[in-house]
Amino acid sequence: MAESISRSLRDGCLEGEHAPALTIEDSLASPFGSHVFDHFLANLASQIADGTSQARGLVLVALNRSPSFYIDLLRRKGVDASLVDKWVRILDCYSDPLGWKNRIPPLTNVQKPSTREHVSFFRDVRDINKLLSSVLDLGKGFVGQGKTRFAVAVDLVSNLLRHTSLPSVAGLLNNLRSNDQISCIFWLIHSDLHEPRVSAALAYVSTVVASVQPIMQLTDEHRSRRDFLWLQKNSCKAKFCVRLKRRNGRVKLLAEELHMDQVGVKFAAVTSENSFVNKSLLPKVQFNLQLSDQERVDRAKVVLPYEHQGNGEAIEIYDGRRSLSDDQKDPHSVQPSTFSATTDAQANSGNGEIHYIRDSDDEQPDSDEDPDDDLDI
């Protein structure tokens, strides 16, 4: 299932549609969001390097970790360094997001940080429009105009929300998503740092929401007892819940387990102890009392259990005694086709059947005894 997310990021968007957008959210109880982000980043980068993805380049907006960390990460994951230089551009919003270094008087004997060609500094995180145009310029810079697209990854939207308001961040992500040159976009957020409406707003803008949740929920009991079992369980495992919005307007809910190890994250199918309960959102449901056309035809074809079929036969009144009916009319028969001997092939060609049990047969036929004889006067 994480594979399917990687695949959808790789495939990108169709013509005329907005780009797929992935939100990764985690919380303090299961803080593996950054690792999940790195996992998807490395996957996408290797796919770009191989040339299998729709995106021809990647722009990474680094707000939480320094650009050198990402370059090391990509190198560790096996992406070729030269290809990293060629196809990845990092917008450094980590070193000096608010432009403070420009305001303090320059120190004399400070080393100038070595600037790499694919890392560009961004000093004004508060200006969302400038951020948007920088991202687009960076992307256009190495992908060119025309039809080629590039992918965008935003490291920590929570950091962005520190500096600007939610509508502007949501507007930025939405504008990036609807831009013609973006193939796919994904971002990370720590959901417990914000109000619920922030998560709701980002879920509204994105097409896939992947949330990392603790395997065992934290209760007050755990907190009071300083439950080490809980800590141990949650320190290396987590639940990975995905909510996909499909093109046909339906929602797909999936869950997987996430394991942390030295290398990174690994996804595995969910074990049975934590089954994912699907909330059914069903309202009141009625029975369909209308008949469909086929059902109406079938109903018309069934022969009814009347003595008088209306086709010219003699009327026989059935009075509850089996002895009267000798040749025809066995009313206990389930198949109504045996009712009249002159039934043609019209009977039972449909699926209509009548299950008919006369309740007058349960009674004993009148005996010839006079009940007054029992009186012993």
Partner 1 sequence: MATAADGRLQGARSASASSFSRARSSPSAVLPSPRNPGVKLGPNGATFVSSGIPDLDRILGGGFLLGSLVMVMEDADAPHHLLLLRNFMSQGVVHRQPVLFASPLRDPRAFLGTLPSPVSSSKEHRQRETTVDHNQQDQEKGLRIAWQYKKYFGDQQSSQIHNRDVKQEFSNDFDLRKTLERQHVQHIEIMSIQDIPHLTILRDRCSNFLSGLPRSDGGNLSAGRIAIQSLCAPQCGYAEMDWDLVAFIRFLRSIIRSSNVVAVITFPTSFLSPAFLKRWQHLADTLLSVRAIPDEDKDMAKLLTGYQDMLGLLHVHKVAQNNSQVPTVLEASTFSLKLQKRRYLVLERLNQAPVEASSGTSYSTSGTCSGPSKGSSLDF
Which residues in this chain contact partner 1 in the complex, by CB under 8 A?
A: 165-168, 170-171, 173-175, 178, 197, 200-205, 243, 245-246, 248-253, 278, 280-288, 355
Minimum CB distance to partner 1, residue 49 (Å): 33
How many Cα atoms are found within 13 Å in the side-chain-facing hemisphere of 194? Answer: 22
Q: Which amino acid is at 105?
A: P
Q: Please classify residue 187 by burial: count the beta carbons closer than 10 Å to its beta carbon, then call 0-12 exposed, 13-18 middle and 19+ buried.
A: buried
Q: Token pair of 311, please?
A: 């086709």
The set of residues, in sequence order, having a beta carbon less than 8 Å from that of 365 and lying 6+ positions away, is 320, 321
Residue 224 CA from chain centroid, whole number: 35
Q: Tell me the CA distances in angstroms from 112 to 31, 93, 116, one per residue in order.
A: 34, 17, 12
- Both tokens of residue 233? 């369980």
Q: What is the rounded distance in angstroms from the CA atom of residue 57 to the CA atom of residue 53? A: 9
CB of 134 to partner 1, least distance (A): 19
Map residue 300 onto helix, strand or coil: helix
The pairing of strands 182-190 and 265-269 is: unpaired
Identity of the residue, 31 or 352, whose beta carbon is nearer to partner 1 in the bound complex: 352
Min dist. Cβ of residue 354 to partner 1 (A):
10
Which 3 state secondary structure label does DSSP give 38?
Answer: helix
Q: Which amino acid would we find at residue 222?
A: H
Q: With respect to partner 1, which residue has the nearer C-beta, 49 or 172?
A: 172
Closer by beta carbon to partner 1, 281 or else 315: 281
**284 or 332: CB nearest partner 1:** 284
Residue 362: both structure tokens together: 């349960």
User: Alpha-carbon distance 365 to 353, whole Å?
Assistant: 29
Output 245 or 329, the one with its CB closest to partner 1: 245
Phi then psi for residue 199, to 5 deg, are: -60, -40
Cα–Cα distance measured from residue 45 to residue 73, given in angstroms and rounded to the nearest whole number: 11
Find all residues with CB under 8 Å of 52, minimum gap 6, and list them: 10
Identify the CA nearest to 357 among candidates 336, 337, 332. 332
* Nearest distance in Å: CB 48, partner 1: 27
CB of 253 to partner 1, least distance (A): 6
Could you tell me the two tokens for 164? Answer: 């600007």
Q: Burial level of 354, CB count in 10 A (0-12/13-18/19+)?
A: exposed
Q: Minimal distance in Å, beta carbon 238 to partner 1?
A: 23
What is the nearest approach in angstroms of partner 1 to the Cβ of residue 177? 10
Task: Give 29 or 166: the residue with its C-beta nearer to partner 1.
Answer: 166
Q: How many CB atoms lie within 10 A of CB 72?
A: 11
Nearest distance in Å: CB 252, partner 1 = 5
Residue 89 Cβ, how far from partner 1 at the closest point, in Å? 25
Tell me whether residue 231 or residue 253 sits nearer to partner 1 (CB atom). Answer: 253
How near is the Cβ of 203 to partner 1 at its closest, in Å?
6
Choice between 262 and 272, CB closer to partner 1: 272
Q: Which is nearer to partner 1, 283 or 312 (CB)?
A: 283
* Minimum CB distance to partner 1 smaller for 103 or for 246: 246
